[in-house]
Amino acid sequence: MIHSRQALRRGIAVAIGLAMAIMATGAVLAHPESEGDHPSGCVVTVEPGSVAVGGQFTVSGNFGGASIFLVEGTDASPAEDATPAATTPEGSSFSVTFVAEASDVGDWTVIGSIPETECGDSDALTVTAAVPNTAVPVPSVATTIGWLVLVLGLALGIRLVGRQNLFVRR
């Protein structure tokens, strides 16, 4: 049991700092730009990444004037004479919604690019015949530990405040 007021204060500060670091790391790693290398600065995302036949998925990007190609297969590229599934107006971003059809079952590569430039990116899409699993994912171990450390730090702080006033020196 900790009896020193100074040690308890330091422990609380370390616990809260550690919890904040763990949560900040989780937020940074969840950002789409952390999924891989984006040398052109153009990012394309598909949400959700897995959809059942009849379901909708949205292709979005951080650039405008894009041609969007849906190419069957993983890490596939469109043919030279391929016609885009959609084109977007000029602007700073785009968002296009599609409906998955029965003929679309399988893995797809969604490519968004500005013709005749280096700006472009791709993302994966899986179309299933069954309803996708939409259960809430189990939090990661780091997130769980971060919450536990935060709660522990707050509990220690409340305990200390309850025993004595932090701002009065005796």
The pLDDT confidence band at residue 38, using thresholds 50, 70 and 90, is: low
63-106 pLDDT, tens per residue?
888 899 999 988 888 888 889 999 888 888 889 999 988 888 89
pLDDT given at position 167:
54
Where does residue 145 rank: exposed (0-12), middle (13-18), buried (19+ CB within 10 A)?
middle
- Backbone phi and psi for residue 161, each to the nearest 5 degrees, phi listed first: -65, -35
What strands, in cross-sheet order, belong to the sheet with 56-61? 44-47, 56-61, 94-99
Q: What's the rounded Cα separation, in Å, for the pair 43 and 54?
A: 26
pLDDT given at position 31:
44
Given a cut of 80, whether residue 34 has pLDDT beyond it is no
In one letter, which amino acid is 154? L
Architecture of domain 40-128: Sandwich (2.60)
Whole-model pTM? 0.55
Cβ pair 65, 91 in contact under 8 A: yes
